[in-house]
């Protein structure tokens, strides 16, 4: 038996080995157990996961921007501290996910380069601007709320490293949603202008948040396969409907309204329904033509370039220390 | 005009790049510094959540050396008091068993129930055994 490296690098296999691998893979999926990095997996499974996990990681990294932009303008020291903790969490979530993606055989440099070059996708939601302080509330409540709805079932994703990263992320994410809810509640109970600001933010973020669950089921070609592989546990529309049901309750406590007069509970299907969404806009934003796409990528690129000297200095220092140690060892 | 959410004074004069906005000089700025350049190796992180418990694998990260790996691990995996001690190990220093050799490497426990206390029924009812 050969000792193995921890990372998964697909090797050239004979047809017999592939057949045995597929049988083992199918058995694990049928048992609803977990695939681990060194296991044989179908090339399409690897590719799907790599795309999903890296897009998810990019979303966390780009997702730092709308909120980081408000740290200097947050209304109190407490709110600044909360916002910084939240932005730091998003960075952490991105790093957990990049680590998970790396176990599939992709280097972090490649993922980073793809993001900066504009070749990689990330959640369309972060291409909308955060125009007022109330947007920090609406983002926490609606955007992080939708993310949690989406992510809790991913804790049971069939790929072990992804599921483990999601468990960690979900634990931290609930503070994000609660702080957003609290911001909106305080504004709603404030002056009429503050309440209006909160309502305006909810109005702008509602539809984009609903679209975070992805296209409708009949227009989501990859969903079926992802569900068969136990990566996805619920369909886009199912999760969206659940989310609407939760929001419709919570918005009452906030003393605000959802900008959708077609929200209703369908007694026949036992599902929450909502008004039509602008899927053309969704596709446009995904294709890079949203309000903030250029700004977000430019900022990411600048941050990467500005940080180059830090990375180089750290590597040079490490090399110097290592050389020094070797010399002492030799002497 | 294209809507934007950047603060009007995005540039902070006098603030060196890569320095955290908070007062804590130990805290690195969020994203870019953690990212791997080819010279930055992969480290596996193990965290002891409290005294008396083992270190448990928490995840991995990239760092140029052990000292930076420890600092990054602290910031990445113990932001909420999750640990009292951290180990970092270069990922390529870990040898792992081959997942495909499950049958032969991990010997079948079949027929070896006598290795478990529950095998011994005659001891039922006897105290302190």
Distance of alpha carbon A193 from alpha carbon A324, whole angstroms? 64
Distance of alpha carbon B128 from alpha carbon A228, whole angstroms? 51
Residue B108 has pLDDT above 70, yes or no: yes
Interface probe, candidates A91, A300, A301, chain B, greatest B C-beta count within 10 A: A91
Arithmetic mean of pLDDT, A80-93: 97
**Do B73 and B88 form a contact (C-beta atoms < 8 A)?**
yes
Q: Please enumerate in sequence order all residues whose Cβ is within 8 A of that of A113, keeping only pairs 6 or more positions apart, or say none.
A: none
Prediction ipTM score: 0.87
CB contact under 8 A, B95 and A304: no
Summarised one tens digit per residue, pLDDT across range A295-322 is: 999 999 999 999 999 999 999 999 998 8
Under DSSP, the state recorded for A266 is E
Task: Give me the torsion for CA of A79, A85, A88, A92, rounded to 10°.
Answer: -140
At residue A299, the 3 state secondary structure works out as helix
pLDDT at A216: 95
Helix or strand holding residue A271 (H, E): strand A271-273
Interface probe, candidates A307, A317, A319, chain B, greatest B C-beta count within 10 A: A307
Question: How would residue A329 be classed by pLDDT, with cut points 50, 70 and 90?
Answer: confident
Which domains can be identified in chain B, with CATH numbers?
A: 37-94 (3.10.20.520)
Distance of alpha carbon B42 from alpha carbon A99, whole angstroms? 9
Question: How would residue A132 be classed by pLDDT, with cut points 50, 70 and 90?
Answer: very high
Summarised one tens digit per residue, pLDDT across range A27-70 is: 999 999 999 998 999 999 999 999 999 999 999 999 999 999 99
CB contact under 8 A, B37 and A2: no
**Do B21 and B10 form a contact (C-beta atoms < 8 A)?**
no
Distance of alpha carbon B76 from alpha carbon A99, whole angstroms? 12
Summarised one tens digit per residue, pLDDT across range B57-81 is: 999 999 999 999 999 999 999 999 9
Considering only residues 74 to 113 of chain B, which have any Cβ-Cβ distance to chain A shorter than 8 Å? 75-76, 79-80, 91-92, 94-101, 104-105
């Amino acid at each position: 038996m050969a000792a193995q490296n921890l990372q998964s690098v697909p090797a050239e296999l004979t047809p017999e080995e592939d057949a045995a691998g597929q049988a083992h893979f199918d058995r694990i999926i049928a048992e609803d157990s977990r695939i681990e990095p060194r296991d044989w997996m179908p090339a399409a499974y690897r590719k799907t996961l790599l795309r999903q996990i890296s897009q998810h990681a990019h979303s966390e990294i780009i997702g730092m921007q709308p909120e980081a932009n408000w740290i200097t303008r947050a209304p109190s020291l407490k709110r600044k501290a909360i916002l910084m903790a939240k932005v730091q969490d998003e960075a952490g979530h991105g790093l957990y996910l990049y680590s998970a993606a790396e176990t599939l055989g992709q280097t972090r440099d490649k993922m980073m380069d793809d993001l900066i070059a504009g070749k990689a996708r990330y959640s369309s939601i972060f291409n909308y601007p955060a125009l007022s302080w109330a947007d920090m509330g609406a983002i926490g409540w609606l955007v992080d709320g939708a993310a949690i709805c989406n992510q809790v079932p991913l804790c049971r994703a069939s790929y072990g490293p992804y599921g483990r990263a999601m468990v960690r992320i979900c634990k931290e994410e609930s503070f994000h949603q609660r702080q957003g809810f609290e911001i909106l509640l305080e504004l709603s109970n404030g002056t009429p202008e503050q309440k209006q600001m909160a309502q305006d933010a909810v109005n702008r973020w509602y539809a984009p948040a609903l679209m975070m669950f992805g296209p409708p089921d009949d227009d989501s070609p990859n969903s079926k396969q992802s569900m068969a592989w136990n990566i996805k546990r619920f369909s886009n529309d199912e999760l969206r409907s659940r989310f609407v049901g939760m929001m419709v309750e919570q918005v009452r406590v906030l003393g605000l309204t959802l900008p959708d007069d077609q929200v209703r509970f369908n007694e026949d299907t036992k599902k929450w329904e909502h008004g039509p969404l602008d899927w053309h806009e969704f596709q446009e934003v995904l294709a890079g033509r949203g309000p903030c796409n250029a700004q977000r990528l430019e900022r990411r690129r600048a941050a990467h370039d500005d940080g180059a000297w830090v990375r180089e200095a750290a590597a040079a220092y490490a090399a110097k220390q290592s050389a020094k140690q070797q010399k002492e060892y030799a002497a | 005009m294209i809507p934007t959410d950047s603060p009007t004074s995005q540039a902070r004069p006098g603030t060196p790049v890569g320095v955290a906005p908070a007062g804590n000089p130990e805290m690195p700025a969020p994203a870019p510094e953690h990212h791997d350049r080819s010279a930055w190796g992969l480290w596996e992180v193990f965290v002891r959540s409290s005294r008396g418990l083992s270190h448990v694998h928490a995840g991995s990260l990239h760092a140029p050396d052990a000292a930076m790996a420890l600092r990054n691990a602290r910031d990445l995996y113990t932001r909420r008091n999750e640990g009292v001690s951290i180990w970092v190990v270069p990922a390529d220093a870990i040898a792992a068993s081959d997942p495909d050799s499950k049958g032969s490497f991990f010997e079948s426990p079949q027929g070896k129930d006598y290795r478990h206390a529950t095998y011994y029924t005659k001891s039922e009812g006897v105290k302190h055994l």
